[in-house]
Structure 1
Amino acid sequence: MSVDAATIHRRRWLILGVLAASVFLVVVDNTIVNVALPRLSSDLGASTTQLQWIVDAYSLVFAGLLLTGGAIGDRLGRKGALQSGLIIFAAMSTLGAFAATSEQLIAARAAMGVGAALVFPATLAILTNVFTD
């Protein structure tokens, strides 16, 4: 389904809001877990090493797959990459919220990094296509 330029122009501020919210979620999730570390340590019985992995699993996977996420968006479609990334991100966030062990939380955060690696480059590419002037 193709959308004409006039429709995109009318909706561009709505599109900007969706893209900004998507980037906000990806960026905030990179650091927000630091606030919860004391509670994670007590609730999950996580060691210092596990706490470090809880923080770093997301960042490592996100950074490692960022270029791949951009290439996937270029080849398969930016909208599809954005939607897939948001679905992965939301599903893994939900799994992480219900993690019973630190290992489950580490795996969920790593998988969230996969979703974020699809979301971030897609938002930037869509933004440059929507705001051409």
Structure 2
Amino acid sequence: RMQLGRRFPVAMVMVDVDGLKIINDQKGHEAGDNLLRQTVDLLHHACRADDVVARLGGDEFAILLAPADEYAAEQVVERIRSLQNLYNIRQPELSLSLSCGWAVAENPNEIDTLFNRSDRMMYLEKRRKKP
């Protein structure tokens, strides 16, 4: 449907909750579920009303921004990081770490690769964080 639309450019932001399995294992699934709910709330606050936030499963989320260029995607990620920092100041006992990556489709021909490109960027950030 996006390929037929006229709302370009389109951006996708991929978000991964870092260390969710460890939190579930060490603090229990209730703590992990709470962290996921906090993540959803944070992502909605970082986005515009028309943006689509979706949980893909497990610890991964996708945000569809339309229309949105590279600058708009970067601004959403900056707001996510800012809200994450604020959350961690307020909730130090259950800290939140998110890895984000984004990509932009300038035209309908690039829609097919949008998910894979944004996912690849998110995993690059995730790898950079590992010690």
Taking structure 2 as the reference length, what is the TM-score of the superposition? 0.38
In terms of fraction of residues, the more helix-rich structure is 1
In terms of fraction of residues, the more strand-rich structure is 2
Could you say which structure has the greater relative contact order, defined with CA pairs below 8 angstroms and 6 or more residues apart?
A: 2
Structure index of larger Rg = 1
Taking structure 1 as the reference length, what is the TM-score of the superposition? 0.38
